Structure 1
Amino acid sequence: MPQTEITQCNGQLLDDFEDHFEELGWLLLEREADPATNTSCECGSGKKRTTKCFDCLEYSAVCTDCFVRTHINNPTHWAEVWDQNAGFFIRHDISTLDHTIQLGHQGGKCDSPTPTRTFTIVDVNGVHTTKVAFCSCHEQPPNKVRQLMRAGLFPATAKDPHTAFTINMLKDFQLHNFESKKAAYDYLGAIRRLTDNSFTADIPNPYAAFLRVVRVFNYLTLVKRSGQLHGIDRILSHRPAGNLLVWCPACPEPGFNSDLNCPKTPSHLR
């Protein structure tokens, strides 16, 4: 489509929005409250509906118990708790609702959990200062790295981690970095602002750990995609051991998909 037609099309679409500016503005404001707030929760516990989730789609206000129950496997969703005195929702981590993220049981309870520890989890929606407990049912001491990784959390260190980055967040940064060359410093700065755009300086800044983890994650991603984790060297024995280059079946490899004398072909005939 010619540039002039694209400009005209965009102008028409903007004109369509112009008739709905006021309605769209009110709909944005509508999200800041919930008519069900402070009414009895439908769970029958007698508790009031005080907590919303803006990370979920069409999530009505519920009591804190229901919020925890419906977010067992999404503990990095922010709990927006209604403050009666302030008259608006205030963002909280799920740990402030008397909940500890229990690892090793797919969200279930552990019969022998480790003592709760304060933990920093960085996700695409912000930096969470939360509470985590490891499972010690089957191994003593618990393998913390293994439990974190199986939960989708990449630890900042292999020795007694207290910080982790969600694998979804690492994939998100990887794409931003490859596509737009966004720096780790700027990306993490935006994540911290998503946590609190008013008092960002008070948010933990795991920048040094992030740089370290990104390098390790990028290397492991390369090892996985190259087939090394599947033992590809045993299949393509003609390639150098440990080769991380993406295999191209169209590229000539003497003795595999081309003649052994291929390298001896004169340059002008190749």
Structure 2
Amino acid sequence: HRSEYLDEFVRFEGRSYWRDQQYCPSCDKGLPIIRCDDCHGRQLVCEDCAVAQHHRSPFHRIKRWNSRYFEPESLANLKLCVPLGPHCPEKPCASADIQTFTIIHTNGIHTIKIAFCRCESTATPRRVQLLRAGIFPATIIDPQTGATFEAMRLFHTLSLQSKLTGYDFIHGLELLTDNTGVLSTPFRLPSFMIMVREWRHLKIVKRAGRAHDSEGIAGTGLGELAVQCPACPQPDRNLPSGWDTVPEGDHWLYRLILAMDANFRLKNRLRSNSKADPGLGTGWAYFVPEEAYREHILKYVTQEEISTCSGFSALSNANQKNARGLRSTGVGACVCARHTFWRATGMGDLQKGERYCNMDFMYLSSIRGTLVLRILLSYDVICQWKVKFWTERLPQMPENLRPTIPKEAVDLAVPKFHLVGHESACHPPHSLSFKVGAGQTDGEGIERNWAVINGVATSTREMGAGARHDTIDDHCGHANWRKLVGLGM
């Protein structure tokens, strides 16, 4: 059936049913020379009818029949103007401010005419009129470029699921607009990336309910935007009354099981600093609060850490990671080991390598305010990390990070796959197989998390400090959400 299908392709791209039509089928007057590629049926109509049919779908792409073939046309050239404001739903008001506007939509990049309403004595700001019409403005003052909410949702979802870059998305829309390079398509990548960053931030605060809080976005606390694991023990949420008074032999029932690790794929080049490119919500979701973290690590600029466990070498290379030209050599993070949810304020940048000062802060930040009877922590170099943690390093930590849970209530283990690489003396005390209540937890879940999040490494490597944090926060939130809705399936 190849020839049959090919013939139908050609017919579909031609005048099809309306090849012999002399007059517009809608008004029976004008010449049927305009076709909309986005309207179902792709009927040929006259210019006036094409405009009339697209008042509520102004971002459709149309073409004109020139007696030999279809050539690109625009609704703006046909005098279609998109009115904004509640007072002018069908046509621009007499005092409207009509401007040429660039719109990024799911089917391409459009140049259209927009009429900003000025009916009210105090005109609604243009950015607000655009937002109410489902168009995200690229700037706050005098916007001339915007993206439809449909385009923003499409890119946001594709980027989270497939790690699609903004460059590839915009370039794809440019090809949909003109696949020959003959036409002049507005270059809007920088504007789009600004909109994407703002969109990500607004979505994460919206989903956390900040719009319904009396303190608004400014009242957001540390880690409040993170998607929490619903299966990990949380008093007043999923624990029975009296959980904290059970016999000691049952403490494992209400134990928090965590895993910690570092990832050197998520590097970041020295493009800008946090002053020029501040995060919109660093510390509100998965990254640690930046100022407190920086103050802490500055105390350990010359800290040397070498592993003495000859069977494992993660820390033996801690200060040998190439940091030239990099703001960050990677990230460290803490997750719940049973369900692999990223922990709130449990992720941070590494400056040299997998140093104790970094990992200590992330671990303690991830359990800030946690009320449980016991903790089981899995870490591939736990045999070295625990040395002097309680006696020397913990007393030097910020007071608000010092846990209330005693040393005796914290069990330490090495992930099962990594344990094989340790000396035999490390095996009995650090094997998850010997930990009461650990079940079949392997402690390697964080490695599987890295495999997913590493898809954004090539993009975030070139970002500024704040944009990178916002982007990784968003991807961590998406990963947690997909796990949440998939629990029990």
State TM-score, norm by structure 2: 0.46
In the superposition, relative to structure 1, how do residues 81 and 247 fare at CA in structure 2: closer, same or farther (>3 Å)? same
CA contact (8 A) 1:103 1:151 kept: yes
CA contact (8 A) 2:83 2:114 kept: yes
Corresponding residue to 1:46 among 14, 25, 29: 29
Counterpart AA for 1:263: V
Tell me by how many angstroms 1:32 deviates. 2.3
Corresponding residue to 2:11 among 16, 27, 30: 30
Corresponding residue to 2:207 among 207, 221, 225: 225
Deviations 1:151-178 (A, max 9, x none): 1110000111000001111111112211
Deviations 1:212-238 (A, max 9, x none): 11000011111112222233999xxxx
Q: Aligned equivalents of 2:215 and 2:85: distance in 1?
A: 33
Q: Match for residue 60 of structure 2? A: 77
Corresponding residue to 2:136 among 154, 163, 167: 154
CA contact (8 A) 1:233 1:242 kept: no
Q: Aligned equivalents of 1:244 and 1:139: distance in 2?
A: 39
CA contact (8 A) 2:97 2:118 kept: no
Question: The residue matched to 1:173 in structure 2 has which SS?
Answer: helix
> Where do 1:189-268 residues align within 5 Å?
189-199=171-181, 202-231=184-213, 240=221, 243-258=224-239, 259=243, 262-265=371-374, 266-268=409-411
Tell me by how many angstroms 1:129 deviates. 1.2
Question: The residue matched to 2:52 in structure 1 has which SS?
Answer: helix
Q: Match for residue 447 of structure 2? A: none
Q: Match for residue 130 of structure 1? A: 112
- Bigger-Rg structure (1/2): 2
Q: Does 1:56 align with 2:39?
A: yes
Question: The residue matched to 1:120 in structure 2 has which SS?
Answer: strand
Counterpart AA for 1:118: T
Counterpart AA for 2:372: P
What is the RMSD of the two structures over their aligned residues, measured on CA atoms? 2.6
CA contact (8 A) 2:84 2:130 kept: yes
Q: Does 1:91 align with 2:200?
A: no
Q: Aligned equivalents of 2:26 and 2:40: distance in 1?
A: 20
Unaligned runs of 5+ in 1: 1-19
CA contact (8 A) 2:35 2:45 kept: yes
CA contact (8 A) 1:192 1:200 kept: no
In the superposition, relative to structure 1, how do residues 200 and 150 fare at CA in structure 2: closer, same or farther (>3 Å)? farther
In the superposition, relative to structure 1, how do residues 182 and 256 fare at CA in structure 2: closer, same or farther (>3 Å)? closer
Q: Aligned equivalents of 2:50 and 2:244: distance in 1?
A: 66
Question: The residue matched to 1:121 in structure 2 has which SS?
Answer: strand
Deviations 1:107-138 (A, max 9, x none): 41233342311110010111111111111112
Structure with more contact order per residue of length (Cα contacts < 8 Å, sep ≥ 6): 2
CA contact (8 A) 2:96 2:115 kept: yes
Tell me by how many angstroms 1:73 deviates. 1.1
In the superposition, relative to structure 1, how do residues 107 and 260 fare at CA in structure 2: closer, same or farther (>3 Å)? farther
Counterpart AA for 2:127: V
Deviations 1:190-249 (A, max 9, x none): 111110011267211111111111000011111112222233999xxxx94771112444
> How many equivalent residue pairs?
245
CA contact (8 A) 1:40 1:49 kept: yes
CA contact (8 A) 2:135 2:148 kept: yes
Question: The residue matched to 1:165 in structure 2 has which SS?
Answer: strand
State TM-score, norm by structure 1: 0.81
